Structure 1
Amino acid sequence: MSKIPVYLMPGLASSAAIFELIVLPEATFEIHLLEWEIPLDNESLTHYAQRITKKIKHKHPVLIGVSFGGILVQEMAKYVDARKVIIISSVRCNSEFPRRLKIAKTTKAYKLIPMSLFANIESLAKFSFGEKVNQRLKLYEKFLSVRDIRYLNWAVEQVILWDRTIVDENVIHIHGDADDVFPIKYIKDCIVVKGGTHIMILNKYKWLNENLPSIILGTEMK
């Protein structure tokens, strides 16, 4: 029996190293890591998703995305016949955004953020991972490798302006009840991970390793 291809997309500014603790049974699954690319001038999220989809070399892949990567894999699913789409620490539509992101969209306040701030790894860690990051900044420096200003400007704008209003009910959503970037009070119909923060891909990896196989295969408890 051929293995199930599982493609993993990291969160905003993160490298695929963020998945280094994710281990799936090798007899059943084959993991493939995706990375962010620098966007083209004035590139739409739709076009970007099409470009990244070209990196998928298998039929019927499982797409798993974290945070902004979760938004991206939902857009990629328009162009690939995915076996399953799973998002972690993300949202399924823009109504699940917290108020501050909705206000940023209305006021265009995000345009006033000088992305040069994020050359500071502590600022970038808090922006990408949430306020609850601890002081292990050398560790975060390893994971947050995409610091190109053009990418950061583009990525922040694509998140805030994401126009999906209708949830795709086929998308499986895994979310921590202590996520401070996308608070769970705004999230509907997800698999809840107790104590999971926005970086639970790092600190709840044991839960994910234990549960992802059954979630992918559709044998998890409802």
Structure 2
Amino acid sequence: MSKKHIYLISGLGADERVFSRLSFPEDCDVHYLPWINPLGPDEPIQEYASRLSRRILHPNPVLLGLSFGGMMSIEIAKQQPVEKVIIVSSVKHKEELPPYYSGMARLLLRNLPDRLLFGNRHYIVKLFMQSRSEEEKMLLKDYLRKRDFRYMRWALAAVLNWQNEWVPPSTVHIHGSADRPFPRRYVNPTHTIVKGGHFMVMNRAQEISRIIEKELA
């Protein structure tokens, strides 16, 4: 039996450590797909996805994306055959974005200087991420130390301006009922983790792993 190849794509500014508590079936080889720098502030998400997908070395992979990584997984699936797309704490199309991710948010992103836009972001990040354990809090601290605001501006703009209307037929959507960045009332997931927050990939990893194992069986 040939092995499945799973490519993991983390959330905005995060890395492979957010997936450290997930477990995968024995017949799966797991690969992490790291973020790359955008070519410029206006690089379309489709072109970015095309460049990122060049690092996928196996045909017909499974893509597992967290938050912004889920959106990127769908963009990659538009451009190459995939066996399945699994998104966690994410959205599938533009209609699942909260309505307040719209005109005013885009205007603020375009016009506020870095010191105002990112200067006090630790309050928003801590509120949205809903971290619990010391390990989770340390990951957030590492994220908040990053100063690549060009990437952050590009990624935030990509989220706010996402116009996708197509959903891969094989998509599995795992979402928490208490998610703050993408509230549950706006999305239609295939699986809901009761009281799961945006960091549930770590603090509800066993439940998510069981869903993944079942979906890949």
TM-score range, shorter chain: 0.7 to 0.9
Match for residue 213 of structure 2? 213
Size of the alignment, in residue pairs? 213
Letter in 2 for 1:34: L
Query: How high is the sequence identity, in percent, across the aligned residues?
Result: 33
Offset, 1:113:
4.3
Q: Does 1:20 align with 2:23?
A: no
> What is the TM-score normalised by the length of structure 2?
0.88
> What is the TM-score normalised by the length of structure 1?
0.86
In 1, the alpha carbon distance for the partners of 2:189 and 2:151 equals: 31
Where 1:80 maps in the other structure, the secondary structure is coil
Letter in 1 for 2:208: L
What do the CA deviations read for 1:31-87 (whole angstroms, capped 9, x no partner)? 000111111123211111001100100111000101110000100012221000111
Match for residue 199 of structure 1? 199
In 1, the alpha carbon distance for the partners of 2:184 and 2:128 equals: 14
In 2, the alpha carbon distance for the partners of 1:147 and 1:30 equals: 33
Offset, 1:121:
7.2
Within-5 A mapping of 1:183-198: 183-198=183-198
Preserved CA contact (<8 Å) 1:17 1:143: no
What do the CA deviations read for 1:144-181 (whole angstroms, capped 9, x no partner)? 67541110010000000001134444322111101011
In 2, the alpha carbon distance for the partners of 1:24 and 1:91 equals: 23
In 2, the alpha carbon distance for the partners of 1:109 and 1:124 equals: 15
Over 3 Å counting, the alpha-carbon distance change for 1:37 and 1:58 in structure 2 is same
Offset, 1:138:
2.5
Letter in 1 for 2:128: G
Offset, 1:123:
4.2
Letter in 1 for 2:108: A
In 2, the alpha carbon distance for the partners of 1:21 and 1:71 equals: 22
Match for residue 152 of structure 1? 152
Letter in 1 for 2:28: F
Over 3 Å counting, the alpha-carbon distance change for 1:144 and 1:24 in structure 2 is farther
Over 3 Å counting, the alpha-carbon distance change for 1:104 and 1:95 in structure 2 is farther
Moved more, 32-41 or 141-150: 141-150
Over 3 Å counting, the alpha-carbon distance change for 1:192 and 1:64 in structure 2 is same
In 2, the alpha carbon distance for the partners of 1:65 and 1:146 equals: 21
Match for residue 128 of structure 2? 130
Over 3 Å counting, the alpha-carbon distance change for 1:110 and 1:66 in structure 2 is same
Moved more, 161-170 or 147-156: 161-170
Letter in 2 for 1:61: P
Offset, 1:92:
0.7
Instruction: Provide runs of 4+ in structure 1 moved above 6 Å.
Output: none
Preserved CA contact (<8 Å) 2:38 2:48: yes
Match for residue 78 of structure 2? 78
What do the CA deviations read for 1:200-221 (whole angstroms, capped 9, x no partner)? 111111112222111123xxxx
Preserved CA contact (<8 Å) 1:9 1:69: yes
Match for residue 55 of structure 1? 55
